[in-house]
Amino acid sequence: MSKSGIDWKGLGYLISMLSVCLLGAIAWPKARDPAWHLPVLIVGMATSILGMAFRYKSHLDQQRELKKAEADAKDARR
């Protein structure tokens, strides 16, 4: 997390997830579209959002590891 308390990477991922939903709403199949468009759109949106969630979890894990390494280094200096 930055010194301002805002997790900019997390905020970016949330905005990206929102954009997936908005673009999905625009792309929502019409009655005349083939039946396979809807499930493909839903799976595509879900996998995009899931991928962003996994990347954010990885970011949090990395931040946790960095804080632990800093704490360990600080303890080693004592």
Question: In the 3-class helix/strand/coil scheme, how is 18-51 assigned residue by residue?
Answer: HHHHHHHHHHCCCCCCCCCHHHHHHHHHHHHHHH
For the entire predicted model, the pTM comes to 0.80
With respect to residue 52, please indicate whether it lies within any of the assigned structural domains. yes
The predicted structure's pLDDT at residue 2: 52
Q: Is residue 65 part of a domain?
A: yes
**Residue 32 CB-half CA count within 13 A:** 0
Q: Which residues contact residue 49 at a Cβ distance below 8 angstroms, ignoring those fewer than 6 apart?
A: 17, 20
How many domains does the chain contain in total?
1
pLDDT (tens digit, 9 = 90+) per residue, 13-62?
999 999 999 999 999 999 999 999 999 999 999 999 999 999 999 999 99
The DSSP 8-state label assigned to residue 7 in this structure reads -
2 within domain boundaries: no
**14: its two tokens:** 């949330």
Give residue 66's domain range.
Answer: 8-77
pLDDT of amino acid 5: 86
